[in-house]
Amino acid sequence: MKLEKLEKYVFVSGMENLEYKFYSRGPKKIIRKVVLYKHLVEIDKNLYNLGFGDWDKHTGRVDDQAVSNNGDRQKVLATVAATVVHFTAKYPEATILVYGSTSSRSRLYQIAIAAHKEEIAALFEVSGFFQNTWEPFQKGKNYSGFLIKRKKT
């Protein structure tokens, strides 16, 4: 399925496009989701960490350990991916660092990237972190993290 045809939630951006919010709507609950792009200028002027999770209204923070089980995982992942497209349109020189908060989440991201590798490759260069080094993303390798950079047009 084409990336642009994947079902996504409507999101809103704020704080110079460093924060995105949307709502996951499942059969039992509505969950506020937040994607944060943190500028890691101390490492590299163009490096941003992508953080993602459920908004915890009690702590006033994003919970990247939350397990929603809201029945819409693919739609949520497609929405997060859409924020990457939006963010890199605003900041085309940005390199986005992505690590799952758990190894199973990193694996989930890897599966999603692999499933749409050719379409993603048309717009982005994707690297995976494997055995303490960054390499071009390849299907079938177990990466612990990812770097995403928009290709120059």
Domain boundaries, the chain: 3-150
The model's confidence at residue 95, banded by pLDDT at 50, 70 and 90, is very high
Note the pLDDT of residue 138: 96
Q: Which helix (H) or strand (E) holds 102?
A: none
Mean pLDDT of 40-52: 96
The model's confidence at residue 28, banded by pLDDT at 50, 70 and 90, is confident
- Name the percent of the chain lying above pLDDT 90: 85
* 39 vs 98: CA distance, rounded Å: 13
* Residue 100 reports pLDDT greater than 70: yes
Contact 68, 26 (CB under 8 A): yes
Query: How would you class 106 by CB atoms within 10 Å of its CB: exposed for 0-12, middle for 13-18, buried for 19 or more?
Result: buried
Torsion over CA of 56, 15, 93 and 41, rounded to 10 degrees? -70
Task: Outline where DSSP puts E strands in the chain.
Answer: 12-14, 19-25, 30-39, 47-56, 61-63, 95-98, 124-130, 133-136, 146-150
* Residue 79 reports pLDDT greater than 90: yes
**At residue 87, what is the residue type?**
F
Residue 59 is given by DSSP the state T
Note the pLDDT of residue 16: 87
Note the pLDDT of residue 4: 72
Instruction: Name the region of 69 (left: φ>0; alpha: ψ -120 to 50; beta: rest).
Output: left
Note the pLDDT of residue 82: 96
Q: Which sign does the torsion angle of CA 13, 123, 41, 111 carry?
A: positive
pTM of the model as a whole:
0.92
Tens digit of each residue's pLDDT (9 = 90 or more) over 104-120: 999 999 999 999 999 99
